[in-house]
Amino acid sequence: MGVVQARMEAALQRFLPATDIVPERLHRAMRYSVLGGGKRVRPLLAFAAGELAGADPARVEVVAAAVEMIHAYSLVHDDMPCMDNDILRRGKPTCHVEFDEATALLVGDALQPLAFQIMAEHVIADSSVEQIEMLKILALASGSRGMAGGQALDLAGVGKSLSLPELEFMHIHKTGALIRAAVVLGARCGHGLDAQEHGRLERYAKTIGLAFQVVDDVLDCDASTATLGKTAGKDAAQEKPTYVSILGLARARALAEELRAEARAALSSFGAPAARLRELADFIVLRKF
Amino acid sequence: MGVVQARMEAALQRFLPATDIVPERLHRAMRYSVLGGGKRVRPLLAFAAGELAGADPARVEVVAAAVEMIHAYSLVHDDMPCMDNDILRRGKPTCHVEFDEATALLVGDALQPLAFQIMAEHVIADSSVEQIEMLKILALASGSRGMAGGQALDLAGVGKSLSLPELEFMHIHKTGALIRAAVVLGARCGHGLDAQEHGRLERYAKTIGLAFQVVDDVLDCDASTATLGKTAGKDAAQEKPTYVSILGLARARALAEELRAEARAALSSFGAPAARLRELADFIVLRKF
């Protein structure tokens, strides 16, 4: 585990309610769903963007944990029988399999306000006005015009043939919105960037968000369940339109590579302080799981 | 429809995304689940508490809408097959019946951040510090140590016999937390109350929150499905412990009456400006639906 992941794990441990607090089973299920797994891509991005903006890591860990809670809740709900009906996540039984469906529903419902709570409880910005702005960014990224909306578009696409722009539009919401929020919120914990620099960072975020999804689609078709820690091949089985189904494997791989170059280009003016963000663009595209 | 309900309906209409914004179906389902129904007890309480505190109604309508969105999402999720599996709500088919389960799941998931979003977007307090405090109050009331936690306790109680204190503990979370939030947030939109007065208001809120639930249990056993606009008699059918199952109908009715007196007593020092809060205590206990 890397330094950021270890720090993140400790922070999430602290922010999640302890299992001896009532309702114990719900708190156990919340911790089961958030702790001890995942690549922590969004926290890594938040910390890298925070580093670029000269942010105090103690602030970044709060927004990174909030984003990760939103991400974790979305996975719990996405795995439920009425959505993707999946039994494996991060190499473990999914929440509704390990506990039960009603508990999985409530785990998601309770993780979401916890994300807003910790961002309201801790110092994450120089001013309260800025803190409220950051809360708004998380809310927008999570809602019907962000991640939840992307899920709805994903559902609507099952069994249909989407065009490439339609697929992109869906992913910009479903995965892109929260990845963008991770980068933007990480950067806003600091105060070293001007408006133009924030703009470049947003372009980076949008590009790697898409790259992340393209690679996900490639891996879903290419890698094994054991490597992924979640069920492989399920996109094709569920007749979901993917970058691979629309472009074919070779062109999807090439697109990921283009997006990596574009993401790195967006960072060019930042020089050395953006080293970690560059590494993450490489990691997101070159990963095997 | 009363003045507050009409104002609330208009505000919710405005705060909810329009049905011609993508994803259209999700937005239609969100509006279906929030608009055109419900007693709007929580908004009524927020406005009455706001009136007591000399709050600008334009502020109160934001927090009232936020609380109502959280309430509406909880009903949508609560009605789903993995929870109460109910088909009727506010005299209409429940969201998962009218749309589908996956959409109902996403309706709840998207209403929740919208509540935080509108509270972050609008002026609801004299200072940003106070606004953040109010966001925190909503988050705590919604989460695992508030409403969602109460739902988990409710689930855990099915088929068990609870003691009266255990039942009360569950309801203080399940319904009480959000009712309390409605009163507290409404009052905090103003600035006319001191700490002691806020304390009295909290006692009022806690008491009518419990009264609300006691009366709900009495009505569930006493009234018809047509009157309630939701399935009557389902507590007994689901072997849920209720005030009626523990106390019997007569003692449950007497308890509601005691709580009404207690709620009114908490308001005594406020005099005339608390008239609406008194009326609401009466309405909550004397209602027939």
Query: Of A37 and B198, which is predicted with more confidence?
Result: B198
**Single-letter amino acid code for the residue at A166:** E
Contacts of B220 (CB under 8 A, 6+ apart): B228, B232, B233, B234, B235, B236, B242, B244
> How large is the average pLDDT for residues A213-218?
92
ipTM of the complex: 0.95
CB nearest A131 (choices: B74, B132, B155): B132
Let me know how long chain B is. 289
Exposure string for B101-136, b = 16+ CB within 10 A, e = fewer:
bbbbbbbbbbbbbbbbbbbbbbebbeebeebbbbbb
| Nearest alpha-carbon partner for B84 in B181, B220, B286, B207 | B220
pLDDT of A102: 98
CA angle at residue A264 from A262 to A268, to 5 degrees?
115
CATH code for the part of the protein at B3-286: 1.10.600.10
How many angstroms separate the CA of residue A264 from the nearest CA in chain B?
Answer: 31
With cut-offs at 50, 70 and 90, classify the pLDDT of residue B280.
Answer: very high
Q: How far away is chain B from the Cα of A87, in angstroms, using its nearest Cα?
A: 16
pLDDT at A227 over 80: no
Partner residues linked to B89 by β-bridges: B92
A157 part of contact set with chain B, CB < 8 Å: no
Contact B179, B142 (CB under 8 A): no
Of the pLDDT bands very low, low, confident and very high (cuts 50, 70, 90), residue B2 is confident
Separation between Cα atoms, residue A269 and residue A264, nearest integer Å:
10
Q: pLDDT tens, A138-183? A: 999 999 999 999 999 999 988 888 899 999 999 999 999 999 999 9
Residues 92-111 of B with CB under 8 A from A: 100-103, 105-106, 108-110
Q: Which residue has the tokens 């004397």?
A: B286
Rounded to the nearest integer, the mean pLDDT of chain A is 93
pLDDT above 90 for A2: no
CA–CA separation, B99 vs B184, rounded Å? 34
Residue percentage of chain A with pLDDT more than 90: 84
Residue A23 pLDDT more than 80? yes
Contact A103 B155 (CB under 8 A): yes
Nearest to B136 by CA among B102, B71, B184: B184
**Is the CB of residue B195 less than 8 Å away from at least one CB of chain A?**
no
Residue type, B30: M
Euclidean distance between CA atoms B193 and B202, whole angstroms:
12
Q: Which of B109, B121, B123 to mutate to test the interface with A (most CBs of A within 10 A)?
A: B109
Task: For residues A86 and A104, give the distance between their C-alpha atoms in angstroms, rounded to a whole number.
Answer: 12
Look at B140 and A155 and tell me if their CB atoms are within 8 Å. Answer: no
Tell me if A105 and B80 make a contact (CB, 8 A cut-off). yes
Question: Could you tell me the pTM of the whole model?
Answer: 0.95
**Mean pLDDT score across all residues of chain B:** 93
Q: Is the pLDDT of residue B168 over 70?
A: yes
Pick B145's closest partner by Cβ from A17, A77, A138: A17
Does the pLDDT of residue B5 top 80, yes or no? yes
CB contact under 8 A, A80 and B105: yes
Three-class SS of residue B233? coil
**Minimal Cα distance from A104: which residue of B?**
B82
A67, A82, A118: best to mutate for the B interface, most B CBs within 10 A: A82
Closest CA to B15 of B60, B62, B56, B58: B62
C-alpha distance from A269 to closest chain B C-alpha (Å): 33
Closest C-alpha among A144, A266, A274 to residue A210 = A266
A110 contact residues in B (CB cutoff 8 A): 143-144, 148-149, 152
Residue of B215, B198, B208 whose CA lies nearest to B278: B208
B33 touches chain A (CB under 8 A): no
Nearest to A82 among B74, B105, B139 (CB): B105
Min Cα distance B157 → chain A (Å) is: 11
CB A106 to CB B27 under 8 A?
Answer: no
User: How many CA atoms lie less than 13 Å away from A61 in the CB half-sphere?
Assistant: 16
**B236-B238-B242-B244 Cα dihedral, nearest 10 degrees:** 0
Q: What is the pLDDT of residue B222?
A: 78
Q: Does a cis peptide bond (omega within 30 degrees of 0) precede residue B17?
A: no
Domain-wise residue ranges, chain B? 3-286
Distance, CA of B175 to CA of B150 (rounded, Å) = 8
Residue A250 confidence (pLDDT):
94
Q: Does A155 touch chain B (CB under 8 A)?
A: yes
A112, A120, A155: residue with CB nearest B113: A112
> In angstroms, rounded to a whole number, what is the distance separating the alpha carbons of residues B186 and B232?
31
Point out the residue among A26, A144, A153 whose CB comes nearest to the CB of B110. Answer: A144
- Interchain CB distance below 8 Å, B136 and A117: yes
On chain B, the residues whose CB falls within 8 A of the CB of A84 are none
Q: List strand residue ranges (DSSP E) for chain B, in order.
A: 88-89, 92-93
What's at B17, amino acid-wise? P
Q: How many CA atoms lie within 13 A of B241 on its CB side?
A: 21
B230 pLDDT exceeds 80? no
Phi, psi of B233 (to 5 degrees): 75, 10
Residues 122-151 of B with CB under 8 A from A: 127-129, 131-133, 135-136, 138-140, 142-146, 148-149, 151
Q: Given a cut of 70, is residue B228 above it in pLDDT? A: no
Interstrand relation of A92-93 and B88-89 (parallel, antiparallel or unpaired): unpaired
Beta strands in chain A (DSSP E): 88-89, 92-93
